[in-house]
Amino acid sequence: MQTITLTEIRRPERQFAAFAPSATDPNDCAQCSSRRFCMPDDLDFGDAPGLKGVFGNYRKVRQGEAIFHAGEPFRNLYVGKVGSYKTVAIDREGREQVIGFPIAGEFMGLDGIGTGFHAFDAIALEDSTVCSVSFKALTATAERNLNLSNHLHRVMSRELVRESAMLMMIGRMSAIQRLVAFLLDLSKRYGERGYSMHEFNLRMTRDEIGCHLGLTLETVSRGFSKLNALRLIKCLGKSVSITDMAGLEQIIVHSIPQ
Amino acid sequence: MQTITLTEIRRPERQFAAFAPSATDPNDCAQCSSRRFCMPDDLDFGDAPGLKGVFGNYRKVRQGEAIFHAGEPFRNLYVGKVGSYKTVAIDREGREQVIGFPIAGEFMGLDGIGTGFHAFDAIALEDSTVCSVSFKALTATAERNLNLSNHLHRVMSRELVRESAMLMMIGRMSAIQRLVAFLLDLSKRYGERGYSMHEFNLRMTRDEIGCHLGLTLETVSRGFSKLNALRLIKCLGKSVSITDMAGLEQIIVHSIPQ
DNA sequence: CGGTTAGTTGAGAAAGCTCAACAGATGTGG
DNA sequence: CCACATCTGTTGAGCTTTCTCAACTAACCG
């Protein structure tokens, strides 16, 4: 297999090493690759006294480790710095639903603001680094900084729109269309963050994908096989290479050919 | 049919008359039945100069009329004062998805904050009254009022959790379970707002319910017939009477008996 | 009082699920 | 380093649920 895997593109060990020495220095945000996603463009640490200590507190998590659990008191928001994650809701009957697969630069924990308790579990899908943000300190600072306040509103609103797009997808699309929408969304988000849009590694299992899309793992697996057969992707286990982006987009519109 | 319909319970004409004389007087918020849903408990108009004019601007909409359309610039949030609504997302391919059925006391338009443009249509399902809230004035006031700011965060966060519950529902539940979840949710929300939990009128069509739950209108209709046959509800057209609340809750847990 | 819209019900088709067998990858202890 | 267990992914066959298409009834509206 000659596709470049995401592990190679990312080199997590090197990033870990690079971040480790300044792991508690807020000013390191200036160099953080997720900065433009997690705070407003024009935010300057000089502007707001007390902003130091709000951002920039890193924490490493190992694969499978939880960043927070549903039911825990809500204190911090988290932004993925390196790595990938899943957020999972579990209802009274014990059924799981994977709400999303946040990657670096995306917020986790917004669900806790409403009730003061987290509604989801957030789990690292690989060895990762998250930046924790004290919500109390954030809102106190936001009170004196309209920019930061607006930024938080925008982040939450976009999350609302993203979830409604998911609703649309699960409500109206066939299994293969959901799978394609999932791949295109992932591709777009990797692209926005400087990774390859065409070649990446899935960090989650078929079961977790199914749980996200409202499908069984077998249907997900058959979907990947079908997309392989149609020569729209080359997928071998967790390694995915998109070979016909336009073809995939057609499936969203017209369902599957032949 | 001797069930008390929602129209009777609500007496929209009388409410219209009652609100009309003070339709532009912000202080009328003090008497508004939706007040405790749309603003923090302890907010006092004396506290914040400029708060007058933020809340309390009523607008009447007739059945089928839009409060805002997807794509329009986002300026105001809206809170249903009287009546019921649907919010609808329409994707590039023209497929519709009913995102929700807001009733009095619930916010509409939060989707527009992220991009500055509304992502949804909001349509009145009956003659209704909405209260429009200038988002600019709201955030400017919130900057000087941590309470109000936190309230907005909580409202948005709860909306996020509500949508993820919808995702869970559509992803994991059978047709009949979705229908029951829909009825129980509606019943709970009516109850919270002082209407009967057991008897109400659906303001939306079978098609709109289906579009919300990811089902066809025929499946929705069959679902209602089935729940009738099981004597869990009495449903005649749009009039619904819940006769066995516990039985309905069992269906969520164990799917359908026999 | 026709015309339109909304709702119900039936029959057959199709999509996706369940169950099952198996293969490949990974990890562990001897 | 190998044997074995476990986890993950693939594929097939039959079954179930829901969708599609269709006919029909009821309610609503000028």
Average of per-residue pLDDT across B132-143: 86
Give the residue, A13 or A179, on which the prediction is more confident: A179
A181-203 pLDDT, tens per residue? Answer: 999 999 999 998 888 999 999 99
Residue B70 lies in a domain: yes
Closest residue by Cα to the C1' atom of nucleotide C5? B205
A143-158 pLDDT, tens per residue? Answer: 777 788 888 888 888 8
Residue A117 lies in a domain: yes
How far apart, in Å, are the Cα atoms of B91 and each of B160, B186, B201?
20, 26, 30
Structure confidence at residue A22 (pLDDT)? 41
Residue B151 lies in a domain: no
Do A18 and A129 lie in a common domain? yes
Q: Is the CB of A55 under 7 A from strand D?
A: no
Residue B46 has pLDDT above 70, yes or no: no
Q: Which residues lie below 8 Å from residue A110, measured CB to CB, with a gap of 6+?
A: A77, A155, A156, A159, B157, B160
- Name the residue facing A214 among B93, B149, B170 (closest C-beta): B170
d(CA A41, CA A36): 6
Q: At what angle do helices A146-172 and B146-172 cross, to 10 degrees?
A: 10
Give the residue, A120 or A17, on which the prediction is more confident: A120
Beta bridge partners of A73: A117
% of residues, chain A, pLDDT over 90:
47
Kindly report the bases of strand D lying within 7 A of a protein C-beta atom: 8-13, 17-22, 27
Residue B137 lies in a domain: yes
For residue A232, how many other CB atoms are within 10 A of its CB? 23
Structure confidence at residue B44 (pLDDT)? 60
The CATH number that applies at residue A51 is: 2.60.120.10
> Quick check: pTM over 0.85?
no
Beta bridge partners of B73: B117
A30 CA – D20 C1', rounded, Å: 57
Do B127 and B187 lie in a common domain? no
Q: Where are the alpha helices (DSSP H) in chain B?
A: 6-10, 12-19, 35-38, 135-143, 146-172, 175-192, 206-213, 217-229, 245-254
B102-137 pLDDT, tens per residue? Answer: 999 899 999 999 899 999 999 999 999 999 989 988
Place of tokens 């008191």: A73
Q: Is the CB of B238 under 7 A from strand C?
A: yes
Do A219 and A139 lie in a common domain? no
Nearest to B38 by CA among B50, B20, B49, B26: B26
Residue A166 lies in a domain: no
% of residues, chain A, pLDDT over 70:
81
Do A120 and A217 lie in a common domain? no
d(CA A111, CA B161): 6
Structure confidence at residue A16 (pLDDT)? 31
Residue B84 has pLDDT above 80, yes or no: yes
In angstroms, the separation between the Cα of residue B27 and the nearest Cα of chain A is 26
Residue B11 has pLDDT above 70, yes or no: no
C-beta separation of B102 from B123 below 8 A: no
The CATH number that applies at residue A245 is: 1.10.10.10
**Inter-chain contact B172–A95, Cβ cutoff 8 Å?**
yes
d(CA A200, CA A191): 10
Instruction: Name the residue range of residue A119's domain.
Output: 6-145
B169-199 pLDDT, tens per residue? Answer: 888 899 999 999 999 999 999 998 888 999 9
C-beta separation of B196 from B188 below 8 A: no
Domain count, chain A: 2
Residue B246 has pLDDT above 90, yes or no: yes
Do A192 and A123 lie in a common domain? no
Q: How confident is the model at residue B22 (pLDDT cuts 50, 70, 90)?
A: very low
